[in-house]
């Protein structure tokens, strides 16, 4: 019996909610057809940094606040959940490295996964320029990070 010369598909890190996993703060998912279509050519590595960081599903919505001490993540009850977001980001980074990922397709505007724009911490629906905690860590480590909205525009 001979071994087939099969090469594994290139891996892409993907926000699990975009693949239909009910892991968002509201206990729901945000399935995205364009993201799911990627599975035909790529090996998708689903991650939910917030759950990986120890937060429950469902959970209070959270936003990033910028202060003189740096970025902090607070939920709507004003509990500081920064530590869980940082832990989840580190776990997502480890998954990306372990799977040879070069690209991450993450959920737009999320305090973990948002790339380019996130909510401003006022819980008023106001966006500001910036990245979520996971997106920023991935970018700082040389990964390309886009959102599902960027993917649709490609």
Tens digit of each residue's pLDDT (9 = 90 or more) over 18-53: 999 999 999 999 999 999 999 999 999 999 999 999
* Whether the predicted pLDDT of 14 surpasses 90: yes
Report the domain count for the chain. Answer: 1
Ranges of beta strands (E only) in 2-80 are 11-15, 43-47, 62-67, 70-75
What's the pLDDT score for residue 25?
97
What's the pLDDT score for residue 151?
85
**Rounded Cα distance, 91 and 106, in Å:** 15
**Rounded Cα distance, 111 and 72, in Å:** 10
The model's pTM is 0.93
Would you say residue 91 lies in a domain? yes
Per the structure block, which two tokens stand in for 41?
């050519």
What's the pLDDT score for residue 153?
61
Per the structure block, which two tokens stand in for 34?
């364009």
What's the pLDDT score for residue 6?
61
Would you say 149 and 85 are in contact if contact means Cβ atoms under 8 Å apart? no
Would you say residue 146 lies in a domain? yes
Would you say residue 94 lies in a domain? yes
Q: What is the domain extent for residue 23? A: 11-58+85-115+129-153
Q: What is the pLDDT of residues 94-142, one digit of tens each?
A: 999 999 999 999 999 999 999 999 999 999 999 999 999 999 999 999 9
Q: Which band of pLDDT confidence, cut at 50, 70 and 90, is reported for residue 1?
A: very low
Please identify which residue in the block is written with the tokens 């598909």: 9
pLDDT (average), residues 55-64: 98
Question: The CATH number of the domain where 35 resides is what?
Answer: 3.40.50
What's the pLDDT score for residue 8?
76
* Whether the predicted pLDDT of 4 surpasses 80: no
Would you say residue 144 lies in a domain? yes
What's the pLDDT score for residue 68?
73
Per the structure block, which two tokens stand in for 67?
């202060």
Would you say residue 75 lies in a domain? no
Would you say residue 68 lies in a domain? no
């Amino acid at each position: 019996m001979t071994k087939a010369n099969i090469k594994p598909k290139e891996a892409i890190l993907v926000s699990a909610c975009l693949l239909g996993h009910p892991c968002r703060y509201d206990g729901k998912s945000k399935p995205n057809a364009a993201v799911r279509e990627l599975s035909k050519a790529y090996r998708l590595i689903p991650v939910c940094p917030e759950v990986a960081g120890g937060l429950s599903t469902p959970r209070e919505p959270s936003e990033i606040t910028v202060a003189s001490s740096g970025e902090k993540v607070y939920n709507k009850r004003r509990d500081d959940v920064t530590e869980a977001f940082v832990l989840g980001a580190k776990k997502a980074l480890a998954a990306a490295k372990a799977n040879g990922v070069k690209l991450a397709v993450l959920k737009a505007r999320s305090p973990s996964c948002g790339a380019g724009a996130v909510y401003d911490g006022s819980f008023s629906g106001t966006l500001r320029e910036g990245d979520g905690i996971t997106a920023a860590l991935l970018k700082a480590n040389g990964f390309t990070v886009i959102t599902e909205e960027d993917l649709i525009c490609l």
